[in-house]
Amino acid sequence: MPVSIMPMSLKDLGRVMAIENDSFSMPWSESTFRSEIIDNRFAYYIVARPVEGQEIVGYAGAWMLYGETHITTLAVYRLYRRRGIGSLLLLHLLQKALLKGHKRVYLEVRDSNLEARSLYQKFGFEQRGRHEKYYFDEDACIMVRNL
């Protein structure tokens, strides 16, 4: 399905929150997204919108600072998964990091999240350690992609 990638704006937040609440057991609040968009000058958030259609089908975000990119979130609406949209969002963030001259992209992912870990491995991320009880109920696997 052809989609366009564009910056996340405040008017996207209703749909972002629907996807967020459906995708994560500990979802971010709307005010967290709002403050990322408005207040955080290091934040870069994007959405995937079908070329034919209004409703966004996925989003991703990162903090880009000190020569590194830290991916903070990535989700695709359940009905649109396994169509390459997660890959497209991730590629866009990797491209943006490259354009900024960053040398490294990293992220945390739940140990049990095999779908996401498989996606990241496909794009060259490698496991480089863990954060114990990062999600309170589970450890995080730290994954890194050198650029």
Ligand X SMILES: CC(C)(COP(=O)(O)OP(=O)(O)OC[C@H]1O[C@@H](n2cnc3c(N)ncnc32)[C@H](O)[C@@H]1OP(=O)(O)O)[C@@H](O)C(=O)NCCC(=O)NCCS
Q: Give the residues lining the site for ligand X (CB under 6 A).
A: 23, 74-76, 81-87, 109, 113, 115-116, 118-119, 122
DSSP letter at 22?
H
Q: Is the Cβ of residue 87 or residue 101 nearer to ligand X in the bound state?
A: 87
User: E strands within 51-103?
Assistant: 58-65, 68-76
State the amino acid at position 104 in one-letter form: R
**What order do you get walking across the sheet with 43-50 strand by strand?**
3-7, 43-50, 58-65, 68-76, 104-110, 140-146, 126-131
Select which of 30, 68, 108, 138 is catalytic: 108
SS3 71: strand
End-to-end CA distance of the chain: 28
Minimum gap (Å) between residue 102 Cβ and ligand X: 19
Minimum gap (Å) between residue 115 Cβ and ligand X: 4
Minimum gap (Å) between residue 31 Cβ and ligand X: 20
Q: Is the Cβ of residue 38 or residue 121 nearer to ligand X in the bound state?
A: 121
Q: Is the Cβ of residue 38 or residue 128 nearer to ligand X in the bound state?
A: 128
| 108 in catalytic set | yes
| 44 in catalytic set | no
Select from 85, 69, 127 the least CA-distant residue to 1: 85
State the amino acid at position 122 in one-letter form: K
Q: Is the Cβ of residue 38 or residue 112 nearer to ligand X in the bound state?
A: 112
Minimum gap (Å) between residue 60 Cβ and ligand X: 8
Residues known to be catalytic:
108, 120
